[in-house]
Amino acid sequence: MIKRLWSWFWSPTSRYTWGAILIVGGVAGIIFWGGFNTVMEYTNRLEFCISCHEMSSMPYEEYKKTTHFKSASGVRAICSDCHVPKEWTPKLIRKIQATNELYHWLAGTINTPEKYEAKRLALAEHVWASMKATDSQECRNCHTYEAMDFHKQSRRGAQKMQAGLEEGKTCIDCHKGVAHKLPKGYGEDD
């Protein structure tokens, strides 16, 4: 049985042996997979995210004024930390969804500050809904209730965080506007 399989593996087709075809196919697959993952990771870099003027001149400028950009501990969260899941399948899904953003970039939907502000609420609500759907996994990649020292938080902050935990709230329920300013037309009672 093994001898027959070995013989088949190395027997020629009309041009090549099956072994050569499988080996070349495997090598090509590895090269494709490596290239694909390299591109996926490249598009997670801050420099890539702000490479278009819509991002560099508007959301990036707001983000630079937050503790996600500059903190006492020197830890910096970049765009992909909050907007792209870490796990491979959700990351792939998010990258596919991002093709819609490429369409809007090409169409010039938000290419001026005025257009961006006009769409800001809809854009923010879309991101908030996405974060709510994942139980704020993007936040929880860095922040966890288990690692919080409620005694080092302000009295009111500790009370709110513990109440949120007990009520089953997710980060984005209370922390909208952390990395970007809140859109006009958004009210806290919404």
128-152 confidence digits (pLDDT tens): 999 999 899 888 888 888 888 888 8
Amino acid at 91: K
Per-residue pLDDT, averaged over 82-86, amounts to 89
pLDDT given at position 9: 67
pLDDT given at position 128: 92
Going by pLDDT thresholds of 50, 70 and 90, the confidence category of residue 190 is very low
Nearest to 169 by CA among 125, 139, 126, 127: 139
Task: For residue 17, report the phi and psi dihedrals to the nearest 5 degrees.
Answer: -85, 155
Structure-block tokens of residue 41: 């990771």
For residues 25 and 20, the model is more confident at 25
Going by pLDDT thresholds of 50, 70 and 90, the confidence category of residue 157 is confident
15 pLDDT above the threshold of 90: no
CB 164 within 8 A of CB 108: no
Q: What is the DSSP string of 51-77?
A: -SHHHHHTHHHHHTTSTTTS-TT----
User: Which strand (E) or helix (H) includes residue 69?
Assistant: none
42 pLDDT above the threshold of 90: yes
pLDDT given at position 104: 86
Name every residue whose Cβ is closer than 8 Å to that of residue 63 and which is 6 or more positions away in sequence.
69, 79, 179, 180
Instruction: For helices 18-42 and 88-107, give the axis angle rounded to 10 degrees.
Output: 60
pLDDT given at position 47: 93
Name every residue whose Cβ is closer than 8 Å to that of residue 145 and which is 6 or more positions away in sequence.
161, 165
pLDDT given at position 121: 92
Structure-block tokens of residue 80: 């992909």
pLDDT given at position 74: 87
79 pLDDT above the threshold of 70: yes
Name every residue whose Cβ is closer than 8 Å to that of residue 98 and which is 6 or more positions away in sequence.
43
CB 46 within 8 A of CB 78: yes
CB 54 within 8 A of CB 110: yes
Going by pLDDT thresholds of 50, 70 and 90, the confidence category of residue 87 is confident
Structure-block tokens of residue 121: 């609420």
Per-residue pLDDT, averaged over 33-44, amounts to 90
**Three-state DSSP class for 12?**
strand
